[in-house]
Amino acid sequence: MGKLNIELCPETGICSIVKSDGTKVDLLPDEVDSLRAAAAQPETARQTIADVDADFAKTLQPEELQQLAAELR
C-alpha cells in the first residue's frame, strides 16, 4: 500500500487524499481532472493541489506525487 490513502467517490467524483498523519485534502471533480492532466508533471500536480490547500501540497513527497499519478489515471 502507498503512503497516501486516495479515495475517489464514483458517484460525486470528489477525491479525498489522506496522509498517514491524518492530514487530508478534498478535491472537486474538476480539480481531480486537472490533477490527472498534470500527472506526468509532479510540480504541476503539486500546484494543482496547492490551489486547494497550499500547506498540504508543500508536505507531499515525490513518491506521494508518483502514487497520485499512478492511482488517478
pLDDT above 70 (res 6): yes
Confidence of residue 2 (pLDDT cuts 50, 70, 90): low
What local confidence, expressed as pLDDT, does residue 49 receive? 96
Q: What's this model's pTM, rounded to 2 decimal places?
A: 0.90
Q: Considering its fold, how many domains does the chain have in total?
A: 1
What is the Cα–Cα distance from 57 to 20, expressed in whole angstroms? 14
Structural domain for 32, as ranges: 5-71
Cβ atoms of residues 58 and 51 within 8 Å: no
**Residue linked to cell 489515471:** 73
What local confidence, expressed as pLDDT, does residue 1 receive? 47
> What would the pLDDT profile of 15-69 be if each residue is shown by its tens digit?
999 999 999 999 999 999 999 999 889 999 999 999 999 999 999 999 999 999 8
